[in-house]
């Protein structure tokens, strides 16, 4: 399908920097948690996170997504203080060492979001769609930054305990429509939707969602696909996250063909190559 079929909002304003989404872009993941599902905490120091940021940026990432709260299924809950201690030094170090990086903070907490924006972040990535902290809306509105609105059934501690849907795609469109209406009523218009692969969804749900991602075009907003190295890949291939890069690349092409405008990834180089091939296909 051609991009003009989807006709989403094609730009976002990141603290005065206009980002054009007519061509798909990549968001490099930087998890500063000790229990990340993929890297197991390998980047949970400021120095290591800084090296990964450099790698992502050199390989072509437009955005860097900094996360200090593990949202893998069954992850341990941590305090706001712990989350702030993890993410703020990393944000500050990246801002200091790189020229105008576009940083997203992966949090559902308004206090963390507020402090991260003060430290140099310019986008909020919220797995909870402001259901876990509705004060997040005020922070986004007051700072006039883009917001990644994700769908999740339940919370990270229980989301994979028998998730069920009558009609997954219809329910997601209904969910997003109501959330978007609320955000716009509060003056928030730079919205990116993330259907939440692996967040309260079965293996079958995830592939149903991927194959019908284009149905979300009715929302007229950019779509972010976060499928990098997730269990929908490695369980299907009977392997593990460390050996799921090839499967990730295959599904990234599917996501791009079905309208994804941002790929949130662990492996920027391969995602960039996928986008380049997609543009010639």
Domains, the chain, ranges and CATH?
Answer: 25-280 (3.20.20.20)
Contact 206, 232 (CB under 8 A): yes
Could you tell me the CA-to-CA distances from 258 to 204, 245, 262, 267, 278 in Å, in that order? 17, 20, 12, 20, 11
Specify the DSSP class assigned to residue 181.
H
Q: If you search the block for the tokens 């009523």, which residue do you land on? A: 185
Distance CA 72, CA 159 (A): 9
Among 86, 114, 201, 230, the active-site one is 230
In 3D space, the residue among 15, 33, 216 whose CA is nearest the CA of residue 122 turns out to be: 15
In order along its 281 residues, the chain shows pLDDT tens digits of 444 444 557 899 999 999 999 999 999 999 998 755 555 556 668 999 999 999 999 999 999 999 999 876 666 788 999 999 999 999 999 999 999 999 999 999 999 999 999 999 999 999 999 999 999 999 999 999 999 999 988 666 555 667 788 999 999 999 999 999 999 999 999 999 999 999 989 999 999 999 999 999 999 999 999 999 999 999 999 999 999 999 999 999 999 999 999 999 999 999 999 999 999 87
Q: If you search the block for the tokens 């989404």, which residue do you land on? A: 21
**pTM, full prediction:** 0.92
Half-sphere exposure of 200 (CA within 13 A, CB side): 19
Residue 27: strand, helix, or coil:
strand
Question: For this structure, is 96 an active site residue?
Answer: no
Question: For this structure, is 264 an active site residue?
Answer: yes
Could you tell me the CA-to-CA distances from 233 to 74, 120, 203, 206, 248 in Å, in that order? 19, 34, 9, 10, 7
How large is the greatest C-alpha to C-alpha distance in the chain, in angstroms?
Answer: 49
Q: Are strands 17-20 and 147-150 parallel, antiparallel or unpaired?
A: unpaired
């Amino acid at each position: 399908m051609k991009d003009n079929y989807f006709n989403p909002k094609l730009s976002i304003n990141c603290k005065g920097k206009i980002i054009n989404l007519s061509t798909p872009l990549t968001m490099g993941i930087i998890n500063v948690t000790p229990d990340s599902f993929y890297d197991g905490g390998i980047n949970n120091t400021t120095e290591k996170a800084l090296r990964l940021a450099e790698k992502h940026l050199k390989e072509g990432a437009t955005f860097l997504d900094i996360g200090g709260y593990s949202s893998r299924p069954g992850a341990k809950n941590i305090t706001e203080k712990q989350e702030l201690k993890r993410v703020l030094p990393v944000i500050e170090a990246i801002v200091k060492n790189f020229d105008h990086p576009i940083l997203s903070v992966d949090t559902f907490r308004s206090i963390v979001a507020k402090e991260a924006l003060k430290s140099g972040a310019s986008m909020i990535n919220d797995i909870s769609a402001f259901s876990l902290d509705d004060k997040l809306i005020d922070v986004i509105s007051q700072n006039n930054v883009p917001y990644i609105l994700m769908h999740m059934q339940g919370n990270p501690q229980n989301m994979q305990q028998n998730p069920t849907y009558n009609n997954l795609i219809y329910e997601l469109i209904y969910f997003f429509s109501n959330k978007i209406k609320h955000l716009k009523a509060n003056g928030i218009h730079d919205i990116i939707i993330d259907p939440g692969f692996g967040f309260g969804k079965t293996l079958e749900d995830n592939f149903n969602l991927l194959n019908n991602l284009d149905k979300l075009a009715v929302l007229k907003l950019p779509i972010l696909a976060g499928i990098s190295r997730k269990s929908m890949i490695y369980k299907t291939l009977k392997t593990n996250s460390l050996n799921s890069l090839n499967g990730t690349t295959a599904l990234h092409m599917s996501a791009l063909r079905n309208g994804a405008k941002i790929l949130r990834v662990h492996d920027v180089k391969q995602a960039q190559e996928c986008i380049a091939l997609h543009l010639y296909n």
